[in-house]
């Protein structure tokens, strides 16, 4: 595990809605919030390398945005869940009108 669990390296700081990285996936631009932890991203990257044809993410929703969550089989491999069983994967895209 890297020396810092969070991508932004902060500890005990609440930083909601603060993307620090962006990537294209499934036809959308996604922002990765700084409070995302390394572990779920490492699991997703490993899954992509071992099976490039299978998406490691499932599309989820919040009230105003789309979000990416790990597939159940990958999520089951996680060790770092925190005191509140947190996802620690905070990747969002805005909803657009069709």
Annotated domain spans of the chain:
30-94
Helix (H) or strand (E) holding 44, with range, is helix 38-50
Question: pLDDT truncated to tens, each residue of the chain (98 aa)?
Answer: 445 788 888 887 777 678 999 999 999 999 999 999 999 999 999 999 999 999 999 999 998 999 999 999 999 999 988 778 888 999 999 987 54
pTM for the model stands at 0.85
């Amino acid at each position: 595990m890297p020396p810092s669990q969070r991508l932004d390296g902060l500890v005990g700081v609440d930083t909601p809605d603060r993307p620090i990285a962006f990537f294209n996936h499934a036809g959308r631009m996604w922002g990765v919030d700084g409070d995302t932890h390394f572990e779920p991203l490492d699991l997703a990257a490993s899954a992509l390398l071992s099976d490039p044809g299978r998406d490691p993410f499932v599309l989820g929703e919040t009230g105003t945005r789309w979000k990416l969550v790990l597939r159940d089989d990958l999520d089951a491999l996680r060790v770092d869940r925190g005191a509140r069983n947190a996802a620690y994967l905070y990747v969002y895209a805005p909803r657009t009108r069709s």
